[in-house]
């Protein structure tokens, strides 16, 4: 873990029309840590995730980094159509593509290897040539995570990554993310904070505003006191 802050929110506000999902939000996330965003439904977790990934721009305040190219994103409910003609390998390969346009781009051997490594990391070996339409919900989630991992992104953001995984797969995923934080910064939005207590380095409680906790234990004390998540 280093002391370098890779994400900084400085007095950020975002409103949908007249309803403000978050306001006066300030926090920072350190490099190569695993941070969990928790809070009740409608508290603004997904809004913060979208602000981090650049899908939304703040109405007020500043966010570092301003560009989202270095961030790998695993959405809660991916928007894509699973009938898109694509294999698991094709999908994960797209994660290795750089956002800067290079005409007649072809995937290199290292990119192909990176995709295969990511597929193996999420335990989808043997499924490389399987069409995405033939995957179960959990397998599809893993493929989406593999796509984020195959990128050069230093920061991986996962919005409710356990939403369509069974208990065993969730445990495996979290063990894997715990290993991954040695190399990358991981941010997870989740309701299931108890699964994450052992691996989280810091927790940010979001309920319209943000409250940082240096350790999960500190938050656990608050939860025992009846705070909602």
Binding site for other proteins (CB under 8 A): 53-55, 67-69, 71-73, 75, 78-81, 83-87, 90-91, 94, 97, 99, 101, 103-107, 131, 147, 151, 153
- Neighbour-count burial for 40-59, b at 16+ CB within 10 Å, e otherwise: eeebbbbbbbbbbbeebebe
**By C-beta, is 29 or 203 nearer to other proteins?**
29
In whole angstroms, the minimum distance from the beta carbon of 140 to other proteins comes to 12
**By C-beta, is 130 or 222 nearer to other proteins?**
130
Determine what percent of the chain falls in helix, strand and coil, rounding each to the nearest 5: 30, 25, 40
Exposed/middle/buried for residue 126 (C-beta within 10 Å: 0-12, 13-18, 19+): exposed
In whole angstroms, the minimum distance from the beta carbon of 213 to other proteins comes to 26
In whole angstroms, the minimum distance from the beta carbon of 120 to other proteins comes to 21
Under DSSP, the state recorded for 103 is T
State the number of CA atoms in the 13 A half-sphere of 23 facing the CB.
6
**By C-beta, is 24 or 98 nearer to other proteins?**
98
CA distances from 77 to 14, 129, 135, 160 (A): 21, 23, 15, 9
Tokens standing for residue 58 = 């703040």
In whole angstroms, the minimum distance from the beta carbon of 183 to other proteins comes to 19
**By C-beta, is 18 or 225 nearer to other proteins?**
18
In whole angstroms, the minimum distance from the beta carbon of 220 to other proteins comes to 31
**By C-beta, is 3 or 129 nearer to other proteins?**
129
């Amino acid at each position: 873990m280093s002391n370098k802050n890779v994400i900084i929110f400085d007095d950020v506000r975002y409103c949908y029309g007249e309803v403000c999902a978050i306001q006066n939000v300030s926090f920072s996330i350190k490099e190569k840590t695993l941070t969990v965003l928790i809070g009740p439904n409608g508290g603004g977790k997904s809004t913060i995730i979208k602000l981090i990934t650049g899908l939304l721009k703040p109405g007020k305040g500043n966010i570092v980094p301003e560009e989202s190219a270095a961030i790998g994103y695993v959405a809660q409910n991916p928007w894509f159509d699973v009938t898109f003609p694509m294999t698991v390998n094709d999908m994960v390969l797209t994660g290795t593509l750089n956002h800067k346009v290079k005409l007649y781009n072809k995937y290199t051997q290292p990119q192909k290897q990176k995709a295969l490594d990511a597929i193996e990391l999420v335990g989808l070996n043997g499924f490389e040539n399987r069409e995405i339409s033939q995957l179960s919900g959990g397998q599809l989630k893993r493929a989406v995570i593999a796509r984020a991992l195959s990128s050069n992104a230093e920061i991986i953001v996962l919005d409710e990554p356990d939403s369509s995984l069974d208990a065993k797969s969730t445990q495996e995923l979290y063990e894997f993310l715990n290993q991954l934080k040695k190399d990358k910064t991981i941010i997870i939005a989740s309701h299931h904070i108890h699964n994450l207590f052992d691996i989280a380095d810091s927790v940010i409680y979001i309920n319209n505003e943000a409250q940082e906790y240096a350790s999960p234990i500190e938050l656990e004390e608050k939860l025992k006191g009846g705070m909602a998540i």
